[in-house]
Structure 1
């Protein structure tokens, strides 16, 4: 079964056709995509036959805990979650609609970034909010980047030969999050009800004192301006007054820009703090995994992060870290550090095939930290 994987980001579009053995038969990456059909139509005109389509959908809420066949009802329920992931959900819907027009009759499957984190224990998933609020709006920590965390943590444990390992997975790109994974199950993560929480990101703030947000509203900032500022003008962009790309921020810092220097310091502080917190949720760490654009391609980021976490028994091999190619162990310490190529497409294709082949996956069960 050839599976077309449609990975629609907040502004980009990644397309791949994977064969039965996950060989990449065709691919296309558009850095800028606003939802138009053209790129998909052009790609499909030369791509091999497609038997099924798997879509990455960022937010599944409480309704979607596993891959789900797409029909009119599924699309409507995905659209209803747009307010919780305003940067991503509209793009996923645009991809679904484009494929529906271009490949009528080909089965489509939605694969959710949130579903991997449904195994988090209640202590990690529950907000300390009034119970009436939690019941009315089903408020909980959902977590995101689950397709990436699931693949990267599994791949690293396979390569390390440690299937039951306690893994802290670091998905670091324009969006960024950490996950604590034990026995292949998520037990904690840095993102929450929306993809805005957790680490400092390219344009997103990450964790902010909720009292500060209340104060800003009382000071006269509108809800629309607050949302726009937190989503599009915060993070590395807000600190450095650049576009937020980590490469540009690092270049500015190296030229002596004090704003960029501070941005890197704040970014690194929260990253190290988050890794230590995920380690605490696991009761220890066996593998630290870097994935995503920055995680894979920024050796300075990895070196600085690991240097600040030496107390966890982490030590890099400078040579390996500087010359990463593919999936690579970059540590000399017993607590291993791995760089794993982000392959959400493999995870999406696997979930798509599994659903369409009517294989029943056991319902995920919460597991205690450290098990």
Structure 2
């Protein structure tokens, strides 16, 4: 048995799970939120207890130290010393062209992650900080980096290159990298197991505050909606998704916005928030149900964008066996799933409204018996996927 601690460091949060492998038993899990801000909180859960309390947590180092203290606490802890942790899996958002697989962390890896800060300025710096702190707190544990972009390294050149001068690709590495790879890998593998098909064509739809959609053929990512950065593709909570580049030039050249201001608008003030004034889909669905025309339009725009990608990816793979809804919205919003799947009979997609309205934390089918394409809802588990990859790597060394 191996105890693997999975750490996901965000800009002001730190999620963690301590998983015993290969049994996949979660010994402890939790979240530290509002790091460096007023009202910081730590949530901690074990099989026997659940606690939440407000603390002063100035930085990620202090956050991970609090987590360590809880894990080794005499009353609520699940380990005795830091040496009980065999390995630590760190989610790193961007691996660029440097990393296409999970890797044991050394000084060269840390240097490379730092060199990629410009590609993921909101994530990679915090990911690296989590690594550095964990090395000090768990000096005997094997530190492993699992990259969100790695799953998409199989995307072929015809799909990953942009039609701009080739030197930008060769010299500056401007291309489709893709994100949410750990989530897409996990749910697509679960779908393959469910389908029991030697060859499979699956569309994985990750819908949260950030959204993306992936074409997965025979277990490999062959196309993906997020590209060089995390703002294009589907309509998201505050991000615009696909937009005509001319709009950006117009905003700068004729409306007087700076490029930094335009970037801020597209990342933080657009998407569902820009359309409705709300970024939480639950609020938008409630307002739409009450008759708010703008919220109704936003929901229809959101679903329409997803439909277009489903059509494109079905064409790219020359067919479709299943579509998978996952992540917070994908797993919980029967409204979005219904809007996406209605009027898709031409592609063999038929949703069962009664099945769709039911709630479950397990893999479930929400398509009709006659539907040629399976419609699946599969809860994502990025932490377990990271633990699996860490275990496989450590056992192989």
TM-score, normalised relative to structure 1:
0.91
The structural deviation recorded for 1:124 is 0.7
Distance in 2 (CA, whole Å) between partners of 1:260 and 1:86 is: 32
The answer to whether 1:71 aligns with 2:109 is no
The answer to whether 1:345 aligns with 2:383 is yes
Kindly provide the CA deviation profile for residues 219-241 of structure 1, in whole angstroms up to 9, marking residues without a partner as x: 32112212211111111111112
SS in 2 for 1:315: coil
Structure 1: segments with no counterpart, 5+ residues: 360-371
Judge which range, 43-52 or 173-182, deviates more: 43-52
Q: Which residue of 2 aligns with 1:367?
A: none
Q: Which residue of 2 aligns with 1:23?
A: 25
Q: How does 1:46-61 map to 2 (within 5 A)?
A: 46-47=70-71, 48=79, 49-61=84-96
Q: Which residue of 2 aligns with 1:95?
A: 130
Kindly provide the CA deviation profile for residues 144-169 of structure 1, in whole angstroms up to 9, marking residues without a partner as x: 11111111011011022224211000
The structural deviation recorded for 1:177 is 0.4
The answer to whether 1:132 aligns with 2:164 is no
Distance in 2 (CA, whole Å) between partners of 1:112 and 1:299 is: 31
Q: Which residue of 2 aligns with 1:41?
A: 65
Kindly provide the CA deviation profile for residues 112-131 of structure 1, in whole angstroms up to 9, marking residues without a partner as x: 11111111111111110101
Q: Which residue of 1 aligns with 2:75?
A: none
SS in 1 for 2:171: helix
SS in 2 for 1:137: coil
The answer to whether 1:223 aligns with 2:256 is no
Which residue of 214, 217, 230 corresponds with 2:249? 214
Distance in 1 (CA, whole Å) between partners of 2:147 and 2:268 is: 23
RCO higher in 1 or 2 (8 Å CA, sep ≥ 6)? 1
For the 8 Å contact 1:13–1:32, the answer to whether it is kept is no
The structural deviation recorded for 1:276 is 1.4
Distance in 2 (CA, whole Å) between partners of 1:268 and 1:356 is: 41
Task: Check 1:226–1:83 CA distance in 2 against 1; reply closer, same or farther (3 A cut).
Answer: farther
Distance in 1 (CA, whole Å) between partners of 2:12 and 2:197 is: 37
SS in 1 for 2:60: coil
Distance in 2 (CA, whole Å) between partners of 1:349 and 1:142 is: 23
Distance in 1 (CA, whole Å) between partners of 2:253 and 2:140 is: 52
Structure 2: segments with no counterpart, 5+ residues: 37-58, 72-78
Distance in 1 (CA, whole Å) between partners of 2:143 and 2:324 is: 31
- For the aligned residue pairs, the C-alpha RMSD in angstroms reads 1.8
Q: How does 1:236-251 map to 2 (within 5 A)?
A: 236-242=272-278, 244-251=279-286
Q: Which residue of 2 aligns with 1:115?
A: 150
Kindly provide the CA deviation profile for residues 254-286 of structure 1, in whole angstroms up to 9, marking residues without a partner as x: 233333222222211111111211211111110
Which residue of 310, 326, 329 corresponds with 1:294? 329
Q: Which residue of 1 aligns with 2:372?
A: 334
